[in-house]
Structure 1
């Protein structure tokens, strides 16, 4: 039985993944932005899975102080976490920027998991076999440092693709620095049937189940204990290569350096 935190788990792939893992008897930590929706999801999953070991935590991942509060709360309540699934993501947003004037896609899809993971590192390291799954995407494009800093305005599509490559680049860098934690970046599948995809594209190619199934496998299967620093492409169904920039040490160093400045880490 593992203790597993899944961000963005009140709907879509996150909720499905949480339900599947709860059914297997794991202790699940749900995260949502809306307290009411989180409470309803919590009750629904407990009822569906007959598993009472399901907790919920509220945080607005676009707000870095809200992340600090949630990670402190989790660290106080749980001595260790075995698996962190950085699933929460945004494509369309009513607000283009967060209160730090950063693009919402970068804030939620990249800065949030970066900060959250760093804050939870002490309790992740207390697990016997910690694992981090970072949700990337087939959409990855070269990161503009000006866009990352909130100094350049780019389209939602461009910001989304850049934020997902930034997450992948950091996932690889983190894996090198923390060889005792298995970190895997994953494209869960293109155009899965989720609310985010429907809002962004108005169509889908595959069921959300396809994404949830690979997340469950990467999170808990014994066969991935040696997969640290890899990228799984669920469109192909195999470990594969990410965007070229994810292997460019110079670009990775610049990204990490800027990120630490922005987050004041």
Structure 2
């Protein structure tokens, strides 16, 4: 059965490849990026390659809180039912350290953007018979500091990236409890996959991009995962395919999660 799927950050890397894989199966795919020209190019490319005309574009800069809220409003009005949301957009290396909102760019793009977007369109996701939210976490997870989260203190790129990914995982676990009818899974798609992000950050890769694509596809569509909500899948474990594993201990600390969400809500 055809599903309506939104994949953020899908003009490059595993987001784009996952969009293409799902498009080939006839699903309605919404490709998102921050550059309208690039989004339109990728939409055309996927339509041609997949022979599927149900490919549409969404444009928003995830380092801009107002732009995220505007996109959320557009989605809420235009896409009444969302079956699958893959929060894939992410950033590590950037020439800009802070956003115009005065926040660390990695915190904004990797955590606050999916938090704002998802919460704003929850009612549309709940309209699906079997909704899923797949949040892209990472093997890099570090305790979230309030001063970093709120932009009052700057840390290294790797540190703020790891904090943003743990924040995303903590929120994923909380969302799974809050919304028992939505399958919410946080996933490390694999470390140093052959993508633009890994090349820019480290100049090398360990695994093909397809490793990440295949697990995103499975988690989003396979019946095997429909009862696995509130878990963390680590695709670095195992040889060909990962397994559910333990995230950072803070992801299971109710007090720390409540604290994080309280600060986040005030911030956005």
Q: TM-score, normalised by structure 2?
A: 0.97
Partner residue in 1 for 2:257: 252
Q: CA RMSD in A?
A: 0.6
Partner residue in 1 for 2:161: 160
Secondary structure, in 3 states, of the residue corresponding to 1:24?
A: coil
Structure-1 separation of matches of 2:73 and 2:148: 30
What count of residue pairs does the alignment treat as equivalent? Answer: 263
Structure-1 separation of matches of 2:72 and 2:164: 22
Structure-2 separation of matches of 1:163 and 1:64: 16
Partner residue in 2 for 1:185: 186
Matched, 1:241 2:228: no
Matched, 1:150 2:151: yes
Secondary structure, in 3 states, of the residue corresponding to 1:68?
A: helix
Structure-1 separation of matches of 2:4 and 2:43: 16
Structure-1 separation of matches of 2:69 and 2:264: 16
Structure-1 separation of matches of 2:69 and 2:160: 24
Unaligned 5+ segments in structure 2 are none
Question: What does residue range 2-151 of structure 1 map to in structure 2 within 5 Å?
Answer: 2-151=3-152
Q: TM-score, normalised by structure 1?
A: 0.98
Structure-2 separation of matches of 1:117 and 1:105: 18
